Amino acid sequence: MANEEPSDLDWIQLRREMGPSHHVETTKEKFARKFSANPFVPIGCLATAGALSYGLWCFRTGRSKLSQQMMRVRIVAQGLTITALVVGVVMTAGKTLK
């Protein structure tokens, strides 16, 4: 049965064999790596959240025209964020194929 799938215990044994030299990436390190690879995604997320927050605040204070404009800005920011995400995935896939 050489074509047998590895079980969970096989993975545990493999990790033990790798020993303490195996570096586990922290959340901060992962964020820094991902941010440097494609900085437009987190920037776009912040822009989207900022436009949404400010738009809701304007709506609450009765400035409905500005609130409507901020919701439109939010849609544009979301679109640009998704575009940046897709471009990043395509670029990463292109690098792995080479």
Mean pLDDT value across residues 19-26: 75
**pLDDT over 70 (residue 12):** yes
Please give the pLDDT value at position 18. Answer: 73
> Measuring CA to CA, which residue among 44, 47, 41, 36 is closest to residue 85?
41
Q: Which residues of 12-31 are buried (b: 16+ CB within 10 A; e: fewer)?
A: eeeeeeeeeeeeeeeeeeee
- pLDDT exceeds cutoff 90 at 55: yes
Q: What pLDDT is stored for residue 43 in this prediction?
A: 93
Per-residue pLDDT band at 73 (split at 50, 70, 90): very high
What pLDDT, on the 0 to 100 scale, is given for residue 72? Answer: 97
**Count of domains observed in the chain:** 1
Residue 16 lies in a domain: no
Please spell the DSSP secondary structure of 49-82, one letter per residue: HHHHHHHHHHHHTT-HHHHHHHHHHHHHHHHHHH
The answer to whether residue 8 sits within a structural domain is no
Mean pLDDT, to the nearest integer, of 6-16? 74
For 50, the domain range is: 39-98
pLDDT band at 98 (very low <50, low <70, confident <90, very high): low
Any domain includes 90: yes
Per-residue model confidence (pLDDT) at position 22: 65
> Which is more confidently placed, 22 or 93?
93
